[in-house]
Every structure is written in C-alpha cells, then in structure tokens.
Amino acid sequence: MSHIGYRGKGLEFLTKNKIEIGDLVKVQTDSTYSGILMPRYEHSDDEHIVLKLKNGYNIGLQIEKIIKIEVESRHSVKKENITQLRTDPKLPKILLISTGGTIASKIDYRTGGVYPALTAAELNASVPEISEIANIDTEVLFSEYSENLLPEHWIKIAEKLDSYSRSEYKGIIVAHGTDTMHYTAAALSFSLSGFPKPVALVGSQRSSDRPSSDAALNLISAARFLVETDTSGIFVVMHNSISDDEVACHWGTRVRKNHTSKRNAFQTIGGSPAFIVKKDVIEKDPLFSPLKKTYNPRINFDSQVMLVKYYPGLDPKLIDYAMSSGYKAIIFEGTGLGHVGKVMHESIARMKRNGLFVGMTSQCIDGIVRMTVYDSGRDLLNLGVIPLGNMIPETALVKSMWALGNTRDINEMEKIMQENIASEISD
C-alpha cells in the first residue's frame, strides 16, 4: 500500500480506512472536501492528510477533525494517447525543443512532486491551438529543472540551435524552466549573436496540470510571435500581466525574473518588452532596435567567473580565495553608481596585477553604472575596474564566461566586455 511520507497517526488513519495515495476521496470535517490524496514531505507531522482539490491547489486536513472519509475512485495509471497533430502545407514550420522545466511538468501522485516528464510531443499535443498557427516539429534535448543547468547545457542548446540556423523553420521555441531562463537567454544571445531566426525561450510559472497554468498561452503566443513578426534573435516569452490578456517578448540580454511565483515574473530592465502579443495584434516597442550583426557563432564558455554582491562587512579574503582557486574574472554587483568599500581595494589591486578581469555592475534594479561621479568610483577606475554600463549583473556574469571562453588576453576581454554584442547595454 502506498503511503509515502505518512507515519504515526496519519499512517494509522489511512491504513484503517484503506486509502492510498492517488485515490480520489471525499472528506467531511466542518466542510466537505473532494480531492486526490497526496503524499507528505519527509519531515511533515503525522497530524494531517493532504488533498489536491479540483482547482489544482493542495489543502491540509487535521485528522482529529475528520468526521468521515470515503473513496470516490481508486488511483489507476492510464496510458496517455498522444495523437499526431495534423499538418497544413500552407502553414510555416517551427521547431519546439524541450529542455525541461515547469512548462514540461506534471504532478506525480506517487511522490507529490512536480516533475519534468512531458516530452516535446506531449507538450505539442496538449496545446492543439498551435497546430492552427504553424506545423510543429518537436525534439527533446534533455529534461532538467533549470536550476540544474550548467554552462555545458548552454553549449548543447546553442549547438542544437546553430545546426538549424539555415533550416526551413520560421523560428524555434525552447521550452525551459524559469529559474535560470534569463541566464540561458543571455548565453544564447552572446554565443549565437546575429542568429538569423527568432528564438523564443518559453516557460511556465505553474505546471500544466493546474487550472491557473500559464503554459498554454505562453506557448501559443510564442508560436504567433515566431510566425507573425519579421525579426530575429533570442527572446524570453512569458506573461506580461497576472491575467491572460497579453504576453511579453523580452530581449534575451535585458530580462530577469523578478518574482518567485507570479505569472508575469519576467520583466525587461531599463525599458519595455520588445514585443507584446495580444489577442488580435502583436505590438512592437517603438524604441526596440536590435543590433545588426553578421551571424558568427562562438559557442564557448569558461565558468571560472564569480559574481560577488558587495555588502557592508564583505570579507576581502573572498576575493583572494577566488584568485587562488583559479578564477579568471570577478563581476561585482556594487552599490549605487558602482561602488565597493575601500576595504576591497587591496585585493582588487592584486587581482589586476595578476591579469584578472574585474567588472562593475550595480545591485540597483535599474540605472547606469557611473564611476566618475564620486571619488570612490574614480579610485576603482584607477585600480583597473571596468564599468559595465547598465548591464544586468546576471547578464554580465554570463557575458564574462563567454568572453573568457573565447579569449585569454585580458585586454581583448576588456574590449569585448565593453562592446555592445547583443543589446546587453541599452541607451
């Protein structure tokens, strides 16, 4: 009998009533609830049972307050019938590459977790509206939560996209987890600068089995964006509001995730989204003007870079440790206009003497690093710290990994980091 996570009173209660995880049950307390019995976490108490209600949310019920519980239906594993979507020769073709994440997830009623189990074909079939926009080919590259992705994964995605740079596809969707999507978007923007097709990284803040999921609309909007706009480059396509009225297409180097759970978690920093997909129209930001670059893929990264958020009390030994451990570059997330305390100056000077790159961004959400305004900033400039304009700290980190992967010359790296490669530095 499956009672994962239940023990003590909880296990005794379920065993007595012959109820297993995954069963649909009706529970009477001060109110009546109907839902699927879910597992408990390993360290949960033994005083409650957990149901997943029909609205997709979980509720905990105290055992002592349960008057009656009965099974409405037993859990059974049904094989899903994935049918091939029809094709229309008049429609353009787009490719959907799956890498994992919540957009490609379902609830596992055995463990209670959300897991990346949907294949790209299942994802395609679950949103049949896409077949009215384009003919979809699907491919699973890997299936990982985005927090597990490494620069090696960025390389695999970039190499896969590069292999389709001259293909017949109008554009490419990359299904991706949201937690590190902006890192991947930046990595692709630099390594595939000038990519001749539009690429839409698409995720979901809420898994596709939940009624409040944003997965379907994000995918549909991404397909429309790829087909109906004449643009190219790397974009993040996610909800632009908490409702279902519009979806934003963010430029890949100017976006970050600013909320843990809202559907409109992603925002363009320092401007507006490049495009807004609405029900009847796709609006382009009048200020959006992508850089014209000849496509020249350089798919290399070196992860020996550290992103350091400065704070009062930061021990400079951390910088010394990074240098002694083989790190080749430091990106500071400094205060205000781009400052760190003078307690860091000696360590920074040692880094520069040893030929390491030191770049400065700001921990302020918006605005430009200006290190000539105060003496503290000018002192850092004299030490050799490179100001990085209004580059987002995460984007600067990824860019420095990419730059370091393509040159070992510190002067060349400094030049690359200050050059606007993929609109990472905006006016």
The tens digit of pLDDT for each residue in 262-305 reads: 889 999 999 999 999 998 899 999 988 888 899 999 999 999 99
pLDDT-derived band of residue 357, with 50, 70 and 90 as boundaries?
very high
222, 234 contact by CB (below 8 A) = no
Q: Which residue in the list 99, 178, 253, 361 is annotated as catalytic?
A: 178
pLDDT of residue 320: 93
Please list, in sequence order, all residues whose beta carbon lies within 8 angstroms of the beta carbon of residue 80, skipping any fewer than 6 positions away.
Answer: 122
d(CA 351, CA 423): 29
Active site residue 178: yes
At the top level of CATH, which class does the domain 93-284 belong to?
alpha beta
Query: How far, rounded to the nearest angstrom, does the alpha carbon of residue 287 sit from its chain's CA centroid?
Result: 25
307, 333 contact by CB (below 8 A) = yes
- Range among 113-117, 127-131, 136-140, 413-417 rated most confident: 413-417
174: left (phi over 0), alpha (psi -120 to 50) or beta: beta
- How confident is the model over 13-42, as a mean pLDDT? 90
Active site residue 102: yes
Active site residue 231: no
pLDDT of residue 100: 81
pLDDT above 70 as % of the chain: 89
- Span 139-190, pLDDT tens digits: 889 988 899 999 999 999 999 999 999 999 999 999 999 999 999 999 999 9
d(CA 397, CA 186): 9
d(CA 150, CA 147): 8
pLDDT of residue 102: 64
pLDDT of residue 251: 96
Q: Which residue in the list 23, 52, 99, 102 is annotated as catalytic?
A: 102
The overall average pLDDT reported for the chain is: 89
**Phi, then psi, of 3 in degrees rounded to 5:** -135, 45
pLDDT of residue 22: 86
pLDDT of residue 215: 79
Tokens at 41, concatenated: 């976490």
- Strand ranges inside 41-165, DSSP E: 48-53, 58-62, 68-73, 93-98, 106-107, 114-115, 135-140
Tokens at 59, concatenated: 């509720």
198, 255 contact by CB (below 8 A) = no
pLDDT of residue 117: 46
Q: Which residue in the list 170, 197, 257, 399 is annotated as catalytic?
A: 257
pLDDT above 90 as % of the chain: 71
Q: Which residue in the list 179, 184, 302, 328 is annotated as catalytic?
A: 179
pLDDT greater than 70 at residue 403: yes
Helices and strands, counts by H and E, the chain? 10, 21
- How confident is the model over 383-389, as a mean pLDDT? 97
227, 135 contact by CB (below 8 A) = no
* Two domains, one topology: 8-73 and 305-418: no
19, 36 contact by CB (below 8 A) = no
pLDDT of residue 212: 56
At the top level of CATH, which class does the domain 305-418 belong to?
alpha beta
pLDDT-derived band of residue 1, with 50, 70 and 90 as boundaries?
very low
pLDDT of residue 214: 76
Under DSSP, the state recorded for 339 is: B
Active site residue 257: yes
Tokens at 101, concatenated: 């994440």
Task: Give the CATH number of domain 8-73; options: 2.130.10.10, 3.40.50.300, 2.30.30.520, 3.40.50.720.
Answer: 2.30.30.520
pLDDT of residue 40: 82
Domain ranges within the chain, ordered by starting residue: 8-73, 93-284, 305-418
pLDDT greater than 60 at residue 208: no
